[in-house]
Amino acid sequence: MIDLHLIGIGTGNPDHLTRAAEAAMRAADLILLPRKRADTADLYNLRRALCDAVLTPNTRVVAFDLPVRDAAAGYLTGVRAWHAAIADAWATQIATHLPGGGRLALLVWGDPSLYDSTLRIAARLRAGGLELRVTVVPGITSLQALTAAHAIPLNDLGAPVLITTGRQLATRGWPTDATTVAVMLDGEGAFAKLDPTDTQIWWSAYLGMPQQALLAGPLAETGPAILARRSELRADHGWIMDCYLLRRTPA
């Protein structure tokens, strides 16, 4: 039996780690840390620093190379193949480092339940025959960190919030009947394709990290500034992780 604990670690600020997360990390027999491209070493280094600050010598920490998604394939096809490759990588590490079972932990950026596929990958392992029990330790999500950084409420008075992706926003436009839209996973700046009339935007990149960047204001004026800033930051750091909130005043 593998007792898998998926631990939300916030958005880059070590203070986002909850006491429950710290306890789960210390109780693990093994923590797996994914390594991506060299230009995203910040993400690995942050997880490594959290382990160094929290763990005792009893917990093993093993780094492994995360498979790369094939961007040339169709989006969903490529993502599913990527998830299958990650599941295989996990299975290899488990067989190598926990052959007799035990307590495994993975440190998940943000929260495992919000636009993150760690739970789906874990389900692939279970479907493949691995005896797996999954526990989620929730963390501070990027939306919590975003609204806190801008000191704004997530929703308008008595109104709902729609959470979507940049790909959906670019393809379908402003969602019907929505006044507030939270946008994740937008690599292209889909907000630039919207009619900016009566629309405000609150944007942040690298939430919680020392290089955190914030911009907010009317979409017509702030949108171009965000695109320029995103380009600068990506060039400086080699990667970018950002999200934003849009709010439209009803006619």
Structure tokens at 134: 């999954």
- Give the integer Cα–Cα distance in Å for 175 and 51: 41
- Give the integer Cα–Cα distance in Å for 22 and 189: 35
- Give the integer Cα–Cα distance in Å for 81 and 48: 27
Is residue 35 exposed (0-12), middle (13-18) or buried (19+ Cβ within 10 Å)?
middle
As a CATH number, domain 2-137 is 3.40.1010.10
pLDDT, residue 41, reads 81
Write out the chain's pLDDT in tens, 251 residues. 999 999 999 887 889 899 999 999 999 999 999 988 776 788 888 899 999 999 988 899 999 999 988 877 788 888 999 999 999 999 999 999 999 999 999 999 887 888 889 999 999 999 999 999 999 999 999 999 999 999 999 999 889 999 999 999 999 999 988 999 999 989 889 999 999 999 999 999 999 999 999 999 999 999 999 999 999 999 998 889 999 999 998 65
Q: What is the CA radius of gyration of the chain?
A: 19
- Give the integer Cα–Cα distance in Å for 3 and 103: 5
- Give the integer Cα–Cα distance in Å for 136 and 121: 14
pLDDT, residue 251, reads 58
Nearest to 213 by CA among 149, 139, 165: 149
Give the domain ranges of the chain. 2-137, 142-248
SS3 call for 229: helix
Nearest to 97 by CA among 6, 33, 44: 33
pTM reported for the whole predicted model: 0.90
CA torsion sign, 66 to 70 to 74 to 78?
negative
Cβ neighbours of 193 (radius 10 Å): 14
| CATH superfamily ID and name for 142-248 | Tetrapyrrole methylase, C-terminal domain (3.30.950.10)
Burial 61-76 (b: 16+ CB within 10 A, else e): beebebbeeeeeeeee
The C-alpha angle 113, 115, 118, rounded to 5 degrees, equals 60
Strands (E), 79-223: 102-108, 132-137, 162-165, 180-184, 199-205, 213-218
Given the structure tokens 């006044």, which residue do they identify?
A: 179
Q: Which amino acid, residue 73?
A: A
pLDDT, residue 238, reads 87
